[in-house]
Amino acid sequence: MKAGFSMKTGIKIVTIGGGSSYTPELIEGFIKRHNELPVSEIWLVDILEGNEKLQIVGELAKRMVKEANVPINIHLTLNRREALKNADFVTTQFRVGQLDARILDERIPAKYGMLGQETNGAGGVFKALRTVPVIYDIIEDIKELCKDAWLINFTNPAGVVSEAVFRYADFDKYVGVCNVPINLQIHFASVLNTKTKNLIPYIAGLNHMSYVLNVFHHGKNRLDEIIEDINKKQITMKNIDPLAWDYKFVKELGVYPSPYHKYTYYYDEMLKKFLVSYKNGETRAELVKKIEASLFEKYKDPNLKVKPQELEERGGAYYSDVACNVISSIYNDKRDYQVVNTGNKGHITDLPEGCAIEITCRITKDGPIPVHIGKLPVQIRGIIQETKAFEELLVDAIYEKNLDKALLALQINPFVKSIENAKLVFKDLVKAHRQYLDYYFEVKE
């Protein structure tokens, strides 16, 4: 039994949001790693509104472990507290309001000519307003029922969620994860014709606002070669427009941006395309809803016993590799390099002490140990600091249950160009999501 884990047979995993379409990929990840990560129980947890999906995906999970002939027991429940008892790891992948809420997050800003997206701008603000209070509740349950468990969060907006946890939750055993860095690493390996395990990218910044500063291959930094190749081979992700990067811009920038930076550097172009998709009833959320409907029809097939290939269309490719790699590295004290969201303790000197950062870390039994970056390059420092100020203000607003401050956070968001439009969008989104915002009205009503 590994150090720091209780003397019992196997590892207990609890996945909150277990009815997610991503769950088969997570199950596949645990199956693949069973020799090094002896999971004995996986509890899939959801709420009543998600019960139908939970039952469908849960039965597929049971077929998958049976087909793989691994001794993992799958449990399905709507009782989160029952599931959490004596858990070793808790993963979170839920969406308050499900995809219909995401559709509102995208379509309402579009009415006012604003970008709607689940982690950026108004959509990101309201996803955070709905999500963070639930994360706080989950952490309180963990403290009571499985105080030694690690929380691995994949729920967006992961950067704001991580900031909220580090600022106000009084909880250290937390790691935020995202699949963007691993997609970048896979792309870099392809460019350099090597394996991902041979690369150590130094990535620093914030979730969906981090940059690749170096890519070490057998001790040599090969980032310049990767940038030189940008005209031939560019990274694409299913959930982000494949708009190509300008080679001269990236060369002068001197660091490698993530696909999400297209919302920053190509804002007008991305907004134009987004508004066309809005008019056609084809925003990303609406497309995802169709993809999910198709996926769940496939999941119902009693003959399906493996993760279907179509899941990659959902936009979360390699998610299980990220989550499972982190869990395995903590359990086995691997001390390997991975990119996660963790607390800043002087690792990036241009950002506040203790704030949430996305950074390359060694993953140990005691959690992530970040590499030291020091000062950020001047060409990326400002946009990262501006985004962090927005995250801090929004997290303060959530903790204080102060919607006026949340509006201010939206108004200073880098993707908002008019404070008057922000007022209108904010008012409409509060009305649209009112059933999920009771947390902010508890004192007043």
What does R_g of the chain's alpha carbons equal in angstroms? 21
Q: Record the tokens describing residue 357, joined without a space.
A: 């950062």
Rounded distance between C-alpha atoms, residue 267 and residue 435, angstroms: 32
Sign of CA dihedral 341, 344, 345, 347: positive
Phi first, then psi: what are they for 154, rounded to 5°? -115, -5
The question of whether 263 is a catalytic residue gets the answer: no
Q: Record the tokens describing residue 41, joined without a space.
A: 């129980």
Q: Which of 260, 278, 318, 337 is catalytic?
A: 260
Rounded distance between C-alpha atoms, residue 151 and residue 135, angstroms: 10
**How buried is 248 (Cβ within 10 angstroms: 0-12 exposed, 13-18 middle, 19+ buried)?**
exposed
Sign of CA dihedral 167, 384, 257, 188: negative
Q: What is the 3-state secondary structure (H, E, C) of 151-169?
A: EEECCCCHHHHHHHHHHHC
Strand partners, 367: 364
User: Please, what is the Cα angle at 2 between 17 and 30, to 5 degrees?
Assistant: 35
Residues 282, 434 contacting (CB under 8 angstroms): no
Catalytic residue numbers read 260
